Structure 1
Amino acid sequence: MRHIIDLSDLTMEEFNELYKLTSNIIDRPEGYTDACRGKVLGSLFYEPSTRTNLSFSTAMMRLGGSVVGFSNPNSSSAAKGETLKDTITMVSNYADMIVMRNPHEGAAKAASMFSEVPIINAGDGGHLHPTQTLADMTTILRLRGSADNMKIGLCGDLKYGRTVHSLIHFLANYKNV
């Protein structure tokens, strides 16, 4: 079982393998239309999301899998006080993996301790957003070939912006950024 909570948990070798697979899927999507046939993604979005939520759902369906879950915690038992532990324990009985966005820092890490299936962190508070960093790095590497010797400007909410935090931490793996 492999969670994606924080990209610092991946070695550069693991990241490079993931990048190669991602590039192959982008270049030859027809070869992956059944890659997730029979698999179910549990999608748990405890806070609003349009792009991230739809990108995961669409990707899973394009890979031949299906999606269950919620995009509004008020439509789940969380509205009645169900704990994160109870929700994750229950959903991991139905899904083969869980993607989760939560407004609380560390929620994805906590979920990984209760889950019987891999947890993918789609944003936890102002902490991290590793899947956005994977998308950003895919764009950078496909356009430039490397992130070495790159100058990058970051703007927006630099203190609470989870996308910025994840990207900065990951770019530290490259030379002269």
Structure 2
Amino acid sequence: MHIPPARRFSPYLPFGENKESAWYGKDILTVKQFGVDDLNYIFGVANEMRGMVKRVGTFDLLKGKILANLFYEPSTRTSSSFTSAMERLGGSVIPINEVKYSSVSKGESLADTVRTLECYADVIVLRHPEVGSAALAAKYARKPVINAGDGIGEHPTQALLDTFTIFAELGSADGLTVTMLGDLKYGRTVHSLARLLSLFNVKINYVSPDILRMPQEVMDEVSEKGIPQQVCDRLEDVLPQTDVLYVTRVQKERFEDPANYELVRHQFVVNPEIMKLAKSEMIVMHPLPRVGEISMDFDEDPRAAYFRQMEYGLHVRMALLAMVLGKA
């Protein structure tokens, strides 16, 4: 596994609270707020976090700080990742994963909920089913808000960890062909990743069922950056040229008609047989959970990067928490 050399990244200075930092107290709401220099800095901090976790496991960088994990939608990976990130940095977590048991079930507004939680916490991580909810929360909150997914809108921290994974595994994003496969309509992870990758010299292929095409709005934004894009019906047509295959599940919970879900759920499956068409030096990624779109028979293939991707995500979220709390 190739890890980019440290000289590519900005230094990490884990000493005291830096209120002059460009990221201190800032919200993380959309990938549109990041440029290449920002990514270099974030990835530099994440790379240092990776080394610290490997050497000592946990440390007291955020001792005394509290994170409120506010999840209006079910989550295992993202919620656990932020919890682990905060605790490895020495901080504490208020977990709110069963919103139905909270004041929200009594009709409390999102604005009042975040204004209440910031009385107890230093940073709020929010997942909400409505597009724009994170921006709304940030409007009312005095403490930093991190968007952990707003409906079918964006998932910026996932896009950051996905891009970090590409750098860590392949050395750079420039010159790569990235193929996005599966549910591209409702998959907020691919919406954010396509936008973030448009900062680099990449080519993007979109392979999906007809009813789950990448939204034209996202494609138009990527096109404005001069990035070549191609919509394809068959994975076999683009897999031999692909450097990064990014697979997403078909999201049953987004379908009003279950019959439509059944029609497309297994239209594309990545398995050892089809991967014979792929390069020997490439990676397969997935934000997880998977529900059959990648065969477990492929898991031992060195190109299967999706579980390593989860670990990179921990380091990126540690970096983001340290940054917005003035410790990086």
The one-letter code matched in structure 1 to 2:43 is Y
Pick the aligned partner of 2:68 from 32, 42, 51: 42
- 1:64-104 deviations in whole A, cap 9, x for unaligned? 00001310111210000000000011111111100010010
Aligned residues: 177
State the SS of the aligned residue for 1:25.
helix
Give the share of equivalent positions with the same residue, in percent: 43
Is it true that 1:4 corresponds to 2:28 in the alignment? yes
Residue pair 2:35, 2:199 contacting (<8 A) in 1 also: no
Shift of 1:176: 3.2
Q: What does residue 180 of structure 2 align with?
A: 154
Q: What does residue 265 of structure 2 align with?
A: none
Answer with 1 or 2: which has the greater Rg.
2
Q: What does residue 39 of structure 2 align with?
A: 15
Pick the aligned partner of 2:157 from 121, 131, 137: 131
Note the aligned Cα RMSD (angstroms): 1.2
Written as runs of structure 1 = structure 2, the 5 A alignment for 1:1-177 is 1-29=25-53, 30=56, 33-177=59-203
State the SS of the aligned residue for 1:173.
coil
Shift of 1:31: 8.3
TM-score, normalised to structure 2, is 0.53
Gaps of 5+ in 1: none
Residue pair 1:43, 1:100 contacting (<8 A) in 2 also: yes
State the SS of the aligned residue for 2:178.
coil
Distance of 1:73 and 1:7 partners within structure 2: 26
Gaps of 5+ in 2: 1-24, 204-328
Shift of 1:32: 6.1
Residue pair 2:178, 2:202 contacting (<8 A) in 1 also: no
